[in-house]
Amino acid sequence: MKPKLNLALHELHDGSGMPVVLLHPFPVDSRAWVPMANALPPGIRVIAVDLPGFGKSDLGGLAPSIDLAADAVYDSLTAYGIGNAIVIGWSMGGYVALALAERHPGFVAGLGLVGSRAGADSADMAANRLRLAREVEMAQSVQPISALVSQVMSPRTLEERRQLFSTIEAWMRSQLPAGVAWAQRAMARRPDRTHVLKNFDGPVTIIMGQEDRMNTVQNAKEMAQAAKHGYLTIVPGAAHFVAIEDPQAVAQAIAKFHNVVAPHTRTGSIPKVTRR
């Protein structure tokens, strides 16, 4: 029997109606979403989740698995009284969001992927994740992944807003090595979920920084086109940590997407990408 986790949930923005659930990227926790949440217009309820082993959530003996992380998110949110939601996953959080849409389809009213991919890792990428997991465990430190911090932001951001680097580095260093290793193994083992993206009946929004070195604009366009009801936002001057580099642009895209899924909000519309 799988262990049940009560993941830490954080109400980041007051509102009513259909809530937006935010799933954070690796190797930080839900604090990464705060600047974006602060930039949202009034009336949108936002709940950020600390994924297993990050922030204030423990692992509880959970095996490394994106699927089990998705189940833990579902169990925690339904226990909190959330029946369905718009689910926005950023990078690692996007992998969990796709698994949630597959395993608990009635829960996800709208699906968002920020700097994320539907496909599985290549063999080389998976091997590198497993290597880093072993190094983190052997060192009992997150130091082996410290180089990632400089890769998640654009060169301009690193040069002109050095304080963001320090903030993200501090968030990373506050994570438990066990959680970091767990996440690397879970991501390495995740399956291709392109079929989930294609078969999802609700709206899908794809958001990414134009200078993202861990993804490509072409892949983002293909994902938006693959979805039945796909929307695409490319943010210039930002990279993988787009929601920190340009929180206003990401907030605008999410607010407009919220209006697509929950029309009672007053946020306008965004161009639709039609499936070819």
Q: Is the bond into 27 cis (omega within 30 degrees of 0)?
A: yes
CA nearest neighbour of 225 among 201, 200, 198: 198
10 Å CB burial of residue 92 (0-12, 13-18, 19+) is: buried
Domain holding 67: CATH number?
A: 3.40.50.1820
Domain total in the chain: 1
Q: What is the pLDDT of residue 270?
A: 41
* In-domain check, residue 57: yes
| d(C-alpha 114, C-alpha 9), whole Å | 20
* In-domain check, residue 108: yes
Q: What is the pLDDT of residue 262?
A: 83
* In-domain check, residue 258: yes
For the whole model, what pTM was predicted? 0.94
* In-domain check, residue 1: no
* In-domain check, residue 168: no
Q: What is the pLDDT of residue 5?
A: 81
* In-domain check, residue 115: yes
Q: What is the pLDDT of residue 276?
A: 26
Q: What is the pLDDT of residue 266?
A: 38
Q: Which are the contacts of 202, defined by CB distance < 8 A and separation ≥ 6?
A: 108, 109, 110, 111, 229, 261
Q: What is the pLDDT of residue 2?
A: 56
Q: What is the pLDDT of residue 272?
A: 42
* In-domain check, residue 37: yes
From first to last of its 276 residues, what are the pLDDT tens digits of the chain? 555 788 999 999 999 889 999 999 999 999 999 999 999 999 999 999 999 999 999 999 999 999 999 999 999 999 999 999 999 999 999 999 999 999 999 999 999 999 999 999 999 999 999 999 999 999 999 999 999 888 999 998 888 888 999 999 999 999 999 999 999 999 999 999 999 999 999 999 999 999 999 999 999 999 999 999 999 999 999 999 999 999 999 999 999 999 999 864 333 334 444 332
* In-domain check, residue 149: no
State phi, psi for 205 to the nearest 5 degrees. -115, 135
Neighbouring-strand partners of residue 111: 87, 204
Domain that holds residue 235: 9-121+191-273
Q: What is the pLDDT of residue 274?
A: 32
Contact 207, 253 (CB under 8 A): yes
Q: What is the pLDDT of residue 265?
A: 36
